[in-house]
A and B are shown apart, each in its own frame.
Chain A
Amino acid sequence: MNMMTPRTGGLALLAVIITVAPIGFTNTYFYDVAVNAMFNAILCIGLNLLIGYAGQISLGHAGFLALGAYGSAIMTTAYGVPPIAAMLISATVVGLIAFVVGRPILKLKGHYLAMATLGIGIIIHIVLKTESKITGGPDGMSLDNFSMLGFTIMGDKMWYWVAGVLLILSAWLALNLIDSPVGRALRAVHGSEVGAEVVGVDTSSYKVLVFVVSAVFASLVGSLFAHKNGFITPDIGSFFGSVHLVTMVVLGGMASVFGSVIGAVILTLLPQVLAAVEQYEAMILGGIMMGTMIFMPKGLLPSILASLKRREAGR
């Protein structure tokens, strides 16, 4: 096997960065931010399969994230379900929900699909806010550490390594999926749905499949995030959350697994960096979003790779 394909090369580079990065971490706050960035990256890798590869937008994925988080929180605190079981049950339920709503919704196109997914996200958010007897309402609810077989994930450093391993695993899984026949069918769907159908691709099944996969990614991240933070509020499932996630995917680069990682890391770090400029934070964030998309409409990573390639060719 050639070690220098972009795929294995990318994975190796990601692994090296994750291993080396803590050298620069002077305290656990850095670990905390890094863990959040990696969680977002995992979620975005899943979401990018849907947006970048299958060409279907979703403005409701924060809803699935919140369902995973609350599923874990409710099952572990109120019913004493072991965290790992709660996480898997939540992911299964979210997958089923995505499967059931996916079929009718994914028949919609463009902005109508955006509207439908947005609606589903908002409905989930409203339920979480309203059923305060179960969810704690807008004030949120707390939950315990993630423990499994007598082993407990505690502290930001331990979470960092767990998240790092999961991130590499997710990237590897996504890359394999893209290279499989499923991935080729997906790209056909993105290129031209009618065309794909004509050559015999069952487009709606593939779209539903990738919708379910991306929702399950979101749910799993939600469960982990909830355990890591120890407290969750319905905010994580808000419309803004969904928009934030789509922004990460598009900014980093659609149809690029490593682009998702870059987008997630940048948009997780930005608010921390911009905290210093106080009231100018929103203007700068909005300006960066606009500027990147205007000058690099394909997203950061694809645009940078393309310009590198051009330079190489020009030499």
Chain B
Amino acid sequence: MSAALLQYLFSGLTSGAIYALAGLGFAIIYNASHVINFAQGEFIMIGGMASATMVAAGVPMPLAIVLALLIAMAVGVILEKFAIEPARNADVVTIIIITIGASIFLRGAAQIIWDKEFHSLPAFSGENPIAVLGATLMPQSLWVVGVAGVVIVALWWFFNRTMFGKAMLATSHNRLAAQLVGVGVKKVLLASFALSALLGAVGGVVVTPITFTNYEAGIMLGLKGFSAAVLGGLGNGTGAIVGGLIVGIVEALASGYLSSAYKDAIAFIIILFVLFFMPNGLFGKRGTDRV
């Protein structure tokens, strides 16, 4: 394998793992509520901005990270409680507009609470590149990949081995039945927003040393995360991870071998083709239509 190809793959892995983490948040909320939360990118931004500004203000990094995660979770809970829950039975498009409204609101709030400048966090394990067969990778990229891996294992455990996780899954399959057997649907929805906000913020924290962050950083991450989640099949955690990695690697290979100007377009064309042949994404369940 040539060093150039390996470098393209590393580049794709770095971006792809970032997209995958962003995509996971979409998957969780979708699983519990069949809602696509277009404010997911803003959770990532909040994680990044809150931790970066606190570290800059002198708060020790571990404490800053924990606080940032808590802030993001609180925002997630508030968003669900006051914006999603009251509109639970509304149309899909209506809820899309609500979450888009929420994303605009959160961006507006972020530029007032913090500022419009770019912020960064120090890399967790230094800035010395790791050389592999003539290609290089930053340690922080491994952090992103590692965190994505840990998150997916933790989610599997949560949904398959804990009572509450199972209840969340049950709700996603059949809300009414779940309610009948005593699962608190409201509580499940609330938990799914808290969880995906937490995940988004975790992503924001590990990604910020690579991409930097500002009040608008959530736009791009949200868009790519949504693409990753849809490509992988909505509601499927593994699908979101695979989808994210595919988008990242396709972009890198397209820049390397075809055209860097059209790399984003090439990634979207591939997503479109996948959807033409697999209308529920790579790992999505086949939907059945109710008459």
- A residues lining the B interface (CB < 8 Å): 51, 57, 104-105, 107-112, 114-116, 118-120, 122-123, 126-127, 130, 192-195, 198, 239, 243, 246-247, 250-251, 254, 279-290, 293-295, 297
**Bound-state Cα–Cα, A57 to B103, Å:** 19
Stretch from B138-146, B181-189, B266-274 forming part of the interface with A: B266-274
Q: Tell me if A290 and B279 are in contact (CB < 8 A).
A: no
Residues of chain B touching chain A, judged by Cβ–Cβ distance below 8 Å, are: 30, 36, 83, 86-87, 89-98, 100-109, 111-112, 223, 226-227, 230, 234, 261-262, 264-265, 268-269, 271-272, 275-276, 279-281, 287, 289-291
Taking a contact as CB atoms under 8 Å apart, the answer to whether B108 and A243 are in contact is no
- Are B279 and A123 in touch, CB under 8 angstroms? no
The CA-CA distance from A9 to B30 in the complex, in Å, is: 43
Contacts A51-B93, A250-B93, A293-B101 given; indicate if A111 touches B264 (C-beta within 8 A). no
Is A286's CB under 8 angstroms from B106's CB?
A: yes
Chain A residues whose CB sits within 8 angstroms of the CB of B89 once the complex forms: 297
CB-defined contacts of B94 to chain A, threshold 8 Å: 250, 293, 297
- From B106, B261, B275, B290, A115 is in contact (CB under 8 Å) with B275
With both chains docked as a complex, state the minimum distance between the C-beta of A75 and any C-beta of chain B, in angstroms: 23
Q: Which of B90, B91, B290 has the most CB of A within 10 A?
A: B91
Number of A-B pairs whose CB atoms are under 8 Å?
Answer: 137
Q: Which of B36, B93, B268 is close to A246, meaning CB atoms less than 8 Å apart?
A: B93
- Are B108 and A57 in contact, with the CB atoms below 8 A? no
A-B residue pairs, 10 tightest by C-beta: A282-B108, A286-B105, A289-B101, A286-B104, A283-B108, A297-B90, A119-B268, A290-B101, A115-B230, A126-B265
Question: Are B93 and A122 in contact, CB atoms less than 8 angstroms apart?
Answer: no
Q: Are B105 and A287 in contact (CB under 8 A)?
A: yes
**Cβ B97 vs Cβ A250 within 8 A:** yes
Q: Verify A194–B97 contact, CB threshold 8 A.
A: no
Q: What is the minimal beta-carbon distance from A49 to any residue of chain B, in angstroms?
A: 14
Point out the residues of chain B lying under 8 angstroms from A250, CB to CB. 93-94, 96-97
Question: Which residue of A120, A122, A287, A289 contacts B264 across the interface (Cβ within 8 Å)?
Answer: A122
A127–B262 alpha-carbon span in the complex (Å): 8
Give the distance to chain A from B26, nearest Cβ to Cβ, in Å.
Answer: 9
Q: A283 CA to B34 CA in the complex, in Å? A: 26
Cβ-neighbour of A57 out of B93, B98, B223, B269 (below 8 A): B93
Q: Which residue of A lies closest to B259 (CB)?
A: A130
Provide the residues of chain B in CB contact with A198, threshold 8 Å: 291
Besides A119-B272, A290-B105, 8 other A-B contacts (C-beta < 8 A): A112-B230, A112-B234, A112-B275, A116-B275, A126-B264, A246-B93, A293-B95, A297-B94
When distances are taken between beta carbons in the complex, the residues of chain B under 8 Å from A281 are 108
**The one of B93, B96, B102, B262 that contacts A286, using a Cβ cutoff of 8 Å:** B102
For the complex formed, measure the closest distance between the CB of B83 and the CB atoms of chain A, giving whole angstroms. 5
Residues of A within 8 A of B265 (CB): 122-123, 126-127
Contact of A289 among B90, B100, B290 (CB under 8 A): B100
**By the criterion CB–CB under 8 Å, are A254 and B93 in contact?**
yes
| In the complex, chain A residues whose CB is within 8 Å of the CB of B107 | 282, 286
Interface centre among A109, A110, A284, A286 (most CB of B within 10 A): A286
